[in-house]
Chains A and B, each alone.
Chain A
Amino acid sequence: MTATPAVDAPASIGGPSPVDHRGSWVPNGRMIATRFMELRKRRGLMIALILVTIGIPTVFLVIRLLLHAFAPKTYGPAGGYDIFTALVPGVLYVFGFIVAAALGCTAGTVDLTEGMFRHLVVTGRSRLALYLARIPAGLAIILPLVAIGFTVVCAVCVFAAPTQLSYQNVTVPAGLSHSAFDTWAGDHADEVLCGIGYRFTGNGPSPEMNAVFNSVCGNGPGGPGFKVAPGGVTTPVASPAEIRATAITVADQNYTDYSHHFLSPSNSLMIKTGLWIELEATVGFVVGLGLGSLLGQRTVAVIIMVILELVLTPIVSRAHLAHLINLQRSVVGLAVDHLEPSALGFVFGGGGGPGGGNGTSQLVPETTGQAVLVIALWLVVWTAIGAWRMMTRDA
């Protein structure tokens, strides 16, 4: 230690300065900023966060862009609606939760494990304020990262979307209204009748419908010149009017499904989806923070969070256990799944969100109100648990 000017003596020793609110439970901006800095400077953690939230979708999409660029006939466009609806719930949602939880667990434990907790307590600052400062600081890291990764996905899915919509292997103009779709079907009856599926009702196709399909596609009873009845009676070839009418019938039945197929995701869908994965990341961070603070041990907390997301939630979300239905509904992963935009695929595989996608949700039923309540309770309860442990822990 060198002979240097002393730190100025205090003007008053009676207590905190007039602007010193260290007894308050509300963290100040400097606490949040320095906590943000402390987390951001963790190089290994930040690299992992960036790799998972931005790197994985970016690498996936870049590979698709390159493949399509070099072999466009073999590999379809890199982006588009289908890629979006598969990539977001399949990658960003699940991995976003896990890395957010890892960040939360880190924020909840490092002061303790690295010996800074007692330095902070000795400042006289409210322990609750010390805890609460971590929430905005951590969210200020994870939410932008998730947003950047999501933006990359959106950009590729919009700007590298296919120029033509391939619906059941039939090239169809995108975004047609119901009547326009019917009209287009009438004008392209051959492609519609031979390419787009049709669900027969009752006892199967009527003879007239059979005749149309056979006369156009020639692949079944009633084909041109094919005798369908004893005695050598030949089914007459369908008239153009009949063919057109049948094509319109097929189109009519498929319109609902067609209307869920787009060249690229809409702005509305992207906004809803972005908010949804940010909600999931927020839940992951806040719960991870609380659990980390409770356990005081990062590794164990992260493992528990991964098990919650990858094992417990998928099981609880799909297994319909009558006696445990309310317990299942209290799992936050199920609640967040219920808020998934309906156009997206199921998280953890399958197709269609709650009531969306293919229209058949496999999730344990839960109303939107219940889902929102469950999420809010998880956020509040885990914050309370983490704060309580921090306030009562020996430093």
Chain B
Amino acid sequence: MDTALIDATSADAGPDSEWAVETHGLTKRFGDNVAVDDVELLVPRGCAFGYLGPNGAGKTTLIRVLLGLTHADAGSMSLRGHPVPSQRAAALARVGAIVDEPRFHSHLTGRQNLQVLAAAREPEATGRIDASLERVGILHRADDKVAKYSMGMRQRLGVAACLIGDPQLLILDEPMNGLDPGGMQEMRDMILSLVAEGRTVVLSSHLLDEVERTCDAVAIVDQGRVIRQGAISDLLAGSSVTIEIECADPDRARSLVAMTVVDGSIDISQGGLAITLPGGTGREIIAEVNRILVEGGIPVYRLQEIQTSLESWFLQVTSRLGESE
């Protein structure tokens, strides 16, 4: 690793940095394969930040580099304003993380596993074990061996392991894995509550719907590179809008609309039309379409604006779209 480079470029970043995570030109190679390619990432403090990418995009590798689980080949990074690895201990002092599938000593109980981890943290960490277990909802199973835990319970124990360090930054890699719908809802609520407490949560996931519901901002990673990042609302603002119309005589309705206002594609769908409008189109177009149809004598039963989902947008901007084509 080019330690000198990393230390030098991050030296001016202090604990007061506005970024919970900051990387510049971060690169990690495995032989000829570039898993993390010149990544520039800025995660604001106090938000839920989604880190999205298809399988094999390099999400977990970036997290491992950030946490010092593996070394970077080039670039600089800092956590909570502390450059890593030169101030690794200080940087990780208030960081909790789940990387990949959370695994523990299966012959120990959940509580004993947390005791092992708390012993490596500050003395106060041991006192937070019960509160952490209670918060993730497995206090009643704390004295059962982990071997008897379900996958979902291990995920929860992984989150509890993060919480014993009273983290200001949580990095959760696919935390929804193994959770049932109820568990996913609880996890989502917990992430939101953590953010509400002023903590920063970086959520790496391929579950776009969950990220969209949970996170304020996202970064999209593809083939090792961050190709987009920012607030979700800003990223989706430039994407197309679809108007679904349920009406009588779809063929005539299409002709009417096509002759008048629409600068987009019009498709006949089951029982109506689907009009796709370019990003930035004003909402007044919806009322205009409705007026044209009604004045043309076509009954309109339902008219709905469909905002482009994060999933649709994600597929548009990542290589996965190209693969599917």
Using a CB–CB cutoff of 8 Å, the interface residues on chain A facing chain B are 1-2, 4-10, 13-17, 19-20, 22-23, 28, 30-31, 33-35, 37-38, 41-43, 110, 114-116, 118-126, 130, 394-395
Contact = CB atoms under 8 A, between A and B. Distances in A.
A22 B15 contact: no
The 5 closest A-B pairs by CB, nearest first: A115-B103, A124-B92, A23-B89, A30-B119, A1-B186
Nearest to A33: B119
A83 to B, nearest CB: 38
Contacts of A125: 89, 120-121
A1 B15 contact: no
Interface string B161-185: 1011110100000000000000100
Contact of B93 (A7, A19, A37, A124): A124
A13 B112 contact: no
B283 to A, nearest CB: 38
A1 B164 CA distance: 16
A365 B137 CA distance: 65
B307 interface: no
B104 interface: yes
B165 A2 contact: no
Interface in B17-57: none
B202 interface: no
A31 B119 contact: yes
B107 A13 contact: no
B14 to A, nearest CB: 10
A19 to B, nearest CB: 6
Given A4-B134, A8-B166, A38 B116 contact: yes
B197 A10 contact: no
Nearest to A115: B103
A388 to B, nearest CB: 15
Interface string B72-113: 000000001010000011111111110101111111100011
A1 B136 contact: yes
B145 to A, nearest CB: 9
Contacts of B118: 30
Given A13-B94, A41-B107, A124-B93, A7 B166 contact: yes
Interface residues of B, number: 63
A114 B198 contact: no
A9 B198 contact: yes
B193 interface: yes
A290 to B, nearest CB: 21
B166 A9 contact: yes
Given A16-B122, A17-B122, A123-B120, A7 B163 contact: yes
Contacts of A394: 64, 69-71
A1 B103 CA distance: 19
Contacts of B67: 118, 121-122
A41 B101 CA distance: 23
A332 B119 CA distance: 34
B112 A41 contact: yes
B69 A22 contact: no
